[in-house]
Amino acid sequence: MFPTSSPNPINVQAQVVQDIPALRRADSNITSLNNGNDVPNAAPPFANSLMSSSKKLQDELERTGNKLKQHEENLKFLKTQKNQLDEAILDLQVSLGKYISSGAPKAEDSDNSQDQSEEESIEQIVKHENSAAGIYCQFKYRHGPQPSNLTSYEDVLGIVASLGKVDDDNLSRLFSEYLGLESMLAIVCKTYEGVKALEIYNGEGFVNKGSGIHGLGASVGQDLKGRFSVICLENLRPYPGDFLSNDPQKRLDIPKPRMPTGDIPSGFLGYAVNMIHVHRPHIFCLTSSGWGLRETLFYNLFSRLQVYRTRAEMLDALPCIIEGAISLDGGLIRSSGVFSLGSREDIDVMFPKCSLRTSVPEKYFELEEQIKQKKWEKERIKEDIRREQASLDQEKYNFSLRKQDFVKFLADSSTFIAQQQIQTAAGQNKQIPR
């Protein structure tokens, strides 16, 4: 299960005493005495004894150091496996697409808890009758598909709220609250030509009320009031990374957040940009550069907004929240350090809910079984990590004791050798004739 250790032994002496010059000199003196260089007559007997003791202590220290190193390598290997399993489990859960709202609270108002279809979303947009989005939808869905007085109409894709779907009403409310009404009602165009076609100016710089979206409003008896937002896809900076492999929705391969410990935060469900279901014609090559809606429109709207199961788990993950987060129970962080408190704001324009499937494919049960298997493997690895950490702590303690013994031995040896050298030198001086 664990990788094999390196065959090269640890140079424990270099690790332990490299910053203690006096002890290195002591070890050198032992070797010198053993060779009989300094004290040819008296040195070898006790030097041999010192060398034997030194080698024994050093071998014990080296064996303990090798064990310590092996436990460290095992622990690193196990943590890597755990992180890989965490990512695999999350990816499988995203594929299932059913656990996102498992902890979402039930709405008290029975009317609000009903599924909001695409038609209902359009009706909610049309109710904003004096808005550009309301006028656009009223004309498109009630007066035919082709406005005769709006040039470059094919460049207008629709309203933000109508270009994606989500799995449930709770997510829809959370996403619409995060974006705000202005963004939800923004008109989306593929090119700047479409933007220019929405509003035309006369020679004096005033808006021509008889053309563009203003002309559409006049044709249906609605006067466009105030400003409105238009998003041009070709002018957006797309997501710079890759896509998840073999994902039919072309979800973005955004690295998962990591706590300072290296773990994925508890309760993290995914990124909002990947929880939007894009209509298939809008997934691929909408712009001249080949970009789709997810990596342009929705990435610029949500960026790396994180979604958590509960507010408590979201707050625990603050160290790795940079571009905002929401929780299924109503928590909202706009950006790092900017919190939205108070009651939830109700916005009537929301993303429609995905249609419920009439039958569950066989692949669904296969993915569910894979998740169970990987969670079981993760629990086993967590238990192995606990055991390996305990062994590592014990070996660190053993290494510390043996290092102290080795250092003390070298210090005592240095003192003993110095005394022997002084005595030998004194004896040699007595033998010199005067």
Q: What is the DSSP letter of 361?
A: -
- Enclosing H/E stretch for 362: helix 362-431
Percentages helix, strand, coil for the chain (3-state, rounded to 5) are: 50, 10, 40
The per-residue pLDDT for 375 is 82
Task: Tell me the β-bridge partners of 189.
Answer: 156, 232
The per-residue pLDDT for 61 is 76
305-343 b/e with 16+ CB inside 10 Å = b?
Answer: bbbbbbbebbeebeebbeebbbbbbbbbbeeeeeeeeee
- How many CB atoms are located within 10 Å of the residue 152 CB? 16
* Helices 132-142 and 212-219: angle between axes, nearest 10 degrees: 60
The per-residue pLDDT for 204 is 79
Residue of 173, 90, 178, 104 lying closest to 328 (CA atoms): 104
Q: What is the pLDDT of residues 124-182, one digit of tens each?
A: 888 887 888 888 887 777 655 545 445 456 788 889 998 999 988 889 999 999 999 99
The per-residue pLDDT for 42 is 40
Asked if residue 298 lies in contact with residue 351, where contact means CB atoms within 8 angstroms, the answer is no
Asked if residue 230 lies in contact with residue 192, where contact means CB atoms within 8 angstroms, the answer is no
Which positions of the chain have pLDDT values less than 50?
A: 4-26, 33-44, 99-116, 146, 148-149, 151, 357-360
